[in-house]
């Protein structure tokens, strides 16, 4: 029996919740620093966010291209493995939550189950590289593969022909796995859908598929296109039966200036399908049997400004996107849902050890798929501020104090129609070796 | 709304224009560049003894000596700023020195200005006059053959070996000025350390590599002979010459 299923809607909501409750893990890979003898500051503007040199290294397939990339050039004892841990205390508060005792503010806080990332990455030979990241290792969740890909670089001797195959992070305006923020709020625009949409496609989630990347020397001009099967889709039963595509083009200019030292502009877009029906058994969805694919899309631009010396910059990022969900993705909808959103992020790194950062995320719904919904249903505003102070960074290990506070208001989201607010305080030690 | 965009754009342009003022390197800013990118190999004091130096072969440059390999200036002399910038921009192939091409030119000039504070030589001496490089003649079988004859006449095989594989009779005994082993380069590897263009190789023959056993041949071979030698060297490589 095939039917549009509310079960799908509930499953989608559960997935959204699961994703939101999973802190975004970022990547910084000391194994590369060990291999090339560089400090983490060489590749990271402020760990784990990449600088231009680190971005060019990544775009070259984790290669310096100076004859020392092949694993046969490293010491026999070298293992391309790093470990990242972030033991932390996290306090969460959510207002206007429905309980049997009425609308209440719920609080929870604990020293979270630490978990860890095993970052295995490097080269298999000249121009063939890989990354495998098992993550989790917590008592409740087990282990999952955050990334697992092989990349063939410089095909035909051209830096414009690089092909990555496997589960990979798409080329976002701001990589959600290499961001300064670690709390649950995340970049709202990446995963947002119109209210009620069953799709949980999230730009920030790694996707299984193929990515083509091309770039000039230094990666100042670059383009990336990913074709993938949408992560988390209940329709998944073969490689591309819930297809999606994402593309991003950027151009960066450096200035011999003490004011604006660099500027980058980019455009991005995505189209991802999601099943709107499924085969069921005893009214329960049969895994992997979704159908009637409908699409959601996002299109936007990003602008990066680096002020001051590019060694100790103030980095301002502006991202804006327009999104749309097909009406068939939204139960009871009679029209497509649309929204606009984005974020402004500022990080200032006055010394190599310290970065202060802040971000404002915003979501504004345009057209509600369900006409009776108020237009501002599920509009969101989030503010995040924080500090990272690295105590030690060498080519072997790094550890940093991370303190962050974020607050997010969601309009009309409570059961009684009032707004909700989620606050998160995050204090931890982030280290990798 | 249009006013806001115009104002923003104007501020950006003003910021760029108002501060695009310095072309010379600034050592204070260069120290910060050095601290971010260079210190792990070249050390806090620029003595070539950073935490990764013990794993590097050849060892990172000790900037206190004021001795630099890759120059366009005569043997023994200081390099031009443009020589140092080229080494930083393109890196040194087969070594731990990567290409810092993604850095801005200003960052490169700043860090060079800082390096020039690390050795008193930069106050006492001036960089030498850059060597004039005559136009490269066409590479022919004849020029390669003449280059081989010069290779033999200048006893290059003593270090680099008869077939250029870096296995000459003296190979195992060679050391640099600091006493570290400095085996001769295997010319059959294709990609040369300091770049594989004709001009790169020409400069190596005619200026030598300061601090290493590789001498300058400027006094013993003529420019056209140097080009023949370049062509012979390039014929030894497994790969075609590449642009740095």
Q: What is the pTM assigned to this prediction?
A: 0.89
Test B29 with A311 for CB contact under 8 angstroms: yes
| Structure-model confidence comparison of residues A112 and B227, the more confident one | B227
Kindly report the nearest CA distance between residue A392 and chain B, in angstroms: 13
Test A260 with B19 for CB contact under 8 angstroms: yes
pLDDT digits (tens, 9 = 90+) for A304-358: 999 999 899 999 999 999 999 999 999 999 999 999 999 999 999 999 999 999 9
Test A394 with B94 for CB contact under 8 angstroms: no
Test B101 with A64 for CB contact under 8 angstroms: no
ipTM at complex level:
0.87
DSSP alpha helices (H): ranges in chain B? 2-19, 27-37, 39-42, 81-90, 105-115, 121-124, 141-153, 157-160, 198-207, 223-236
Query: Who contacts A255 (Cβ-Cβ below 8 Å, separation ≥6)?
Result: A261, A262, A263, B16, B20, B104
Test B37 with A42 for CB contact under 8 angstroms: yes
Strand duo A260-281 + A2-3: pairing: antiparallel
Test B102 with A394 for CB contact under 8 angstroms: no
pLDDT of residue B8: 57
Tell me which residue of B234, B214, B225 sits closest to B160, measured CA to CA.
B214
Using CA atoms, how far residue A112 sits from A21, A138, A180, A183, in Å, is 12, 10, 19, 12
> Is B15 in the A-facing interface, judged by CB distances under 8 Å?
yes
Which residues in chain A are closer than 8 Å to B19, comparing Cβ atoms? 257-260
Tell me which residue of A325, A338, A420, A424 sits closest to A381, measured CA to CA.
A420
pLDDT of residue A26: 42
* Number of inter-chain CB pairs under 8 A, A vs B: 116
Which residues in chain A are closer than 8 Å to B102, comparing Cβ atoms? 51-53, 55-56, 218-220
- Which of A53, A259, A260 shows the shortest C-beta gap to B102? A53
How many other C-beta atoms are found inside a 10 Å radius of the C-beta of residue A352?
A: 21
pLDDT digits (tens, 9 = 90+) for A250-296: 999 999 887 999 999 999 999 999 999 888 888 887 877 888 899 99
Test A67 with B191 for CB contact under 8 angstroms: yes
How far is residue B242's CA from residue B244's CA, in Å, rounded to a whole number?
6
Query: Who contacts A341 (Cβ-Cβ below 8 Å, separation ≥6)?
Result: A188, A189, A192, A320, A321, A323, A361, A362, A363, A364, A380
pLDDT digits (tens, 9 = 90+) for A178-201: 888 888 778 999 999 999 999 999
Q: How far is CA A6 from the centre of its chain?
A: 28
Residue A41 DSSP one-character state: G
> Is B180 in the A-facing interface, judged by CB distances under 8 Å?
no
For A370-375, the CB contacts below 8 A with 24+ separation are A370/A195, A370/A196, A370/A330, A370/A332, A370/A333, A370/A334, A371/A334, A371/A335, A373/A195, A373/A196, A374/A412
| Structure-model confidence comparison of residues A10 and A144, the more confident one | A144
């Amino acid at each position: 029996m095939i039917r549009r299923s509310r079960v799908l809607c509930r499953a989608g909501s559960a997935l959204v919740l699961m994703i939101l409750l999973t802190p975004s893990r970022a990547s910084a890979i000391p194994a590369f620093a060990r291999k090339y003898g560089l400090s983490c500051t060489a590749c990271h503007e402020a760990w784990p966010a990449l600088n231009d040199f680190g971005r060019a290294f990544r775009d070259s397939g984790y290669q310096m291209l100076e004859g020392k990339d092949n694993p046969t050039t490293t010491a026999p004892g070298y293992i391309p493995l790093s470990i990242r841990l972030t033991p932390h205390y996290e306090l969460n508060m959510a207002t206007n939550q429905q309980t049997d005792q009425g609308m209440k503010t719920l609080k929870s806080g604990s020293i979270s189950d630490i978990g860890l990332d095993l970052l295995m990455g490097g080269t298999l030979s000249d121009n063939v590289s890989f990354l495998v990241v098992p993550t989790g290792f917590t008592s409740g969740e087990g282990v999952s593969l955050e990334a697992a890909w092989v990349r063939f670089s410089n095909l035909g001797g051209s830096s414009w022909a690089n092909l990555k195959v496997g589960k990979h992070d798409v080329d976002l305006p701001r990589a959600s796995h290499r961001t300064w923020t670690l709390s649950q709020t995340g970049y709202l625009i990446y995963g947002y859908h119109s209210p009620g949409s069953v799709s949980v496609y999230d730009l920030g989630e790694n996707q299984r598929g193929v990515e083509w990347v091309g770039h000039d020397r230094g990666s100042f001009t670059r383009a990336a296109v990913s074709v993938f099967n949408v992560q988390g889709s209940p329709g998944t039963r073969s490689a591309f039966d819930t297809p999606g595509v994402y593309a991003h083009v950027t151009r960066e200019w450096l200035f011999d200036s003490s004011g604006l030292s660099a500027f980058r502009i980019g455009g991005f877009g995505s189209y991802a399908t999601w099943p709107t029906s499924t085969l069921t058994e005893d009214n329960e969805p049969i895994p992997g049997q979704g159908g009637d694919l409908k699409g959601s899309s996002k299109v936007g631009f990003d602008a990066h400004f680096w002020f001051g010396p590019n060694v100790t910059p103030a980095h301002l990022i502006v991202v804006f996107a327009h999104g749309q969900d097909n009406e068939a993705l939204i139960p009871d909808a009679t029209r497509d849902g649309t929204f606009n959103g984005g974020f402004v992020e500022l990080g200032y790194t006055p010394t190599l050890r310290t970065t202060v950062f802040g971000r404002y995320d915003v979501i504004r719904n345009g057209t509600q798929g369900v006409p009776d919904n108020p237009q501002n249903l599920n509009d969101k505003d989030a503010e995040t501020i924080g500090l990272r102070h690295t105590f030690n960074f060498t080519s072997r290990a790094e550890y940093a104090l991370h303190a962050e506070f974020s607050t997010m208001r969601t309009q009309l989201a409570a059961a009684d129609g009032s707004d909700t607010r989620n606050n998160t305080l995050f204090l931890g030690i982030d280290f990798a070796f | 709304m249009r006013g806001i965009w115009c104002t923003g754009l104007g501020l950006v342009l003003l910021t760029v224009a108002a501060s695009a003022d310095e072309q010379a390197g600034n050592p204070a800013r260069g120290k910060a560049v050095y601290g971010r990118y260079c210190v792990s190999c070249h050390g806090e004091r620029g003595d070539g003894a950073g935490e990764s130096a013990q794993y590097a072969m050849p060892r990172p440059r000790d900037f206190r000596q004021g001795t630099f390999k890759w120059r366009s200036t005569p043997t023994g002399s200081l390099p031009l700023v443009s020589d140092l910038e080229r080494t930083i921009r393109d890196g040194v192939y087969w070594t731990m020195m990567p290409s810092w091409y993604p850095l801005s030119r200003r960052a490169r000039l700043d860090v060079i200005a800082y390096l020039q504070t690390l050795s008193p030589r930069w106050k006492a001496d001036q960089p030498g006059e850059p060597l004039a490089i005559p136009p490269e003649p066409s590479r022919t079988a004849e020029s390669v053959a003449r280059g081989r004859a010069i290779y033999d006449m200048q006893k290059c095989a003593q270090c680099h070996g008869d077939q250029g594989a870096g296995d000459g009779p003296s190979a195992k005994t060679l050391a640099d000025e600091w006493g570290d082993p400095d085996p001769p380069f295997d010319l059959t590897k294709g990609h040369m350390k300091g770049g594989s263009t004709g001009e790169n190789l020409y400069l190596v023959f005619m200026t030598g590599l300061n601090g290493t056993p590789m001498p300058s041949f400027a006094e013993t071979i003529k420019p056209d002979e140097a080009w023949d030698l370049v062509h012979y060297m390039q014929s030894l490589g497994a790969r075609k010459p590449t642009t740095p």
